[in-house]
Amino acid sequence: MKKIIVIYLCGFFLLTGSCKKFLAEKPQTFLTPDNFYQSAADATAALNGVFSGLQAQAYYGRTVWIISENSADLLYPPNGNSDRVSLYQNNYTSTNGEIANWWNSSYKMIKGANDVIAHVPGIKMDTLARNNIVGNARFLRAMAYFDMVRSFGDIPLITAPVVGSTDTNLYARRTPAAKVYQQIISDLQYAETWCTPENKIASGNKGLVSTGAASAMLARVYLTRAATSFAGLMPSESPNKPFK
């Protein structure tokens, strides 16, 4: 009985008297924005992570052409797939799984791009390489928003990482399409200026966004926006300054 009492008392004092404040642990076995973005290799890995989202079937692996081809009467869906039949009939609902895939996958890529854009500039590395990585991320963010604004019109415009449960971007309201286009153009202008030219991309980096790809996408955006009612609402912008 005495042993039980002694053990109990020792445990009590360890729990109540060993610490003067709550333990604040520094993560050692998982990655966070604070302990990950440390080197050029980390920046490259982060960008590759954003690109990898395009491979999913629920995004550019399949959903992209289901959304576009079904709705354009270029693809006849099987009768057993109600989501695709609804798209074919131009009957869009909030419960359509393909529409949910398109929305969710786009914002996942936007989230990843926002992380790269926010954190890579703080890494000490070659300036041109850093601006190229940020330019690639801004291209991908612009592409996702271009898809979204053409599909839904006014949409939430989120350009920074969500940092907590009280962050207003966690439940962002819709932004007018004209302002979304403004952000798209700003991102593509940066990519056009700071992405690597096609003839200077190393063989191991083939597949990254080039300045020519950004120019082509920017031209497409201008042409698409010109057909909208807010085509003349945006002031001209100069390319963004690089990070030093």
> pLDDT value at position 9?
47
Kindly state whether residue 60 falls inside one of the protein's structural domains. Answer: yes
Q: State yes or no: pLDDT of 222 exceeds 60.
A: yes
Kindly state whether residue 68 falls inside one of the protein's structural domains. Answer: yes
Mean pLDDT in residue range 102-113: 97
- What's the mean per-residue pLDDT of the chain? 86
Question: By residue range, what is the domain housing residue 124?
Answer: 39-226
| Dihedral, 157, 161, 167, 173 alpha carbons, nearest 10 | 10
| Domain total of the chain | 1
Kindly state whether residue 216 falls inside one of the protein's structural domains. Answer: yes
pLDDT band at 244 (very low <50, low <70, confident <90, very high): very low
Most confident stretch, 90-99, 163-172, 180-189, 197-206: 180-189
Torsional sign, CA 119, 120, 121, 123: positive
Mean pLDDT in residue range 206-217: 96
Q: State yes or no: pLDDT of 6 exceeds 50.
A: no
pLDDT digits (tens, 9 = 90+) for 17-76: 555 565 666 666 666 766 688 999 999 999 999 999 999 999 999 999 999 888 887 888
pTM across the whole model: 0.83
> pLDDT value at position 235?
46
CATH number at residue 118: 1.25.40.390
